[in-house]
Amino acid sequence: MSNPGEEPGEARRGPSVAVVEVITAAVLFAVGAIVVYDSRRLGSGWTADGPQSGYFPFYIGLPLCVSAAAIAFRALSAGGGREIFVDGKQVRQILTVLLPAAVYVGLIHFLGIYVASALYITVFMNWLGRYSIARAILVGVGVGVLFFFTFEKWFAVPLPKGPIERMLGF
């Protein structure tokens, strides 16, 4: 059975599901182990006053480690399946969305969330959605202005602002 967009007879190449599951389990185990270790440092017991600072984190980190071990065990004992987790074409599709999103998050620091969001929406509508640049700018700026009034004026929730908002006195 082939995936959509895949040529018949074309061999898919990429990491197997088992390898990705073992890597994920290792990362989860490491996070859980750090939580357990630091919880023990803070005190993970129960005293006459009640739970110590690390009590609840300890009981979150411990099941995380056990779950990670179970994931790794299942992945390794499944017989080393050859099912491909993701191939090169799928990675490119993911990066098409992921890299601009990372740039957007970085731009929030310099431009503020409203201008960065307007740029992000405009670029995505024009680039991936193939909308005209005029329509993309109209929607991007409109959504940015709508969110500005929604959060800053009506909900009184201050979000990161950039030089344009400061220049306008907000």
18 within 8 A of 28, measured Cβ to Cβ:
no
State pLDDT tens for residues 109-151. 999 999 999 999 999 999 999 999 999 999 999 999 999 999 9
106 within 8 A of 123, measured Cβ to Cβ:
no
Q: Give the H or E element holding residue 50.
A: strand 50-51
Whole-angstrom distance, CA of residue 57 vs CA of residue 37: 10
- Residue in this structure with the two tokens 């270790």, named with its chain if needed: 37
Confidence at 15, pLDDT banded by 50, 70, 90: confident
pLDDT of residue 1: 45
State pLDDT tens for residues 67-101. 999 999 999 987 666 788 888 888 899 999 999 99
Whole-angstrom distance, CA of residue 101 vs CA of residue 52: 40
Torsion of Cα atoms, 24 then 29 then 35 then 41, to 10°: -150
Inter-axis angle of helices 113-127 and 133-148, to 10 degrees? 150
pLDDT cut 90: percent of the chain above it? 69
Residues 6+ apart with CB under 8 A from 119: 104, 107, 111, 140
Nearest to 147 by CA among 115, 104, 103: 115
Would the pLDDT of 11 be above 80? no
pLDDT of residue 134: 97
Beta bridge partners of 112: 161
| Local structure of residue 11 (DSSP, 8 states) | P
Please give the average per-residue pLDDT across 47-72, as a whole number.
95
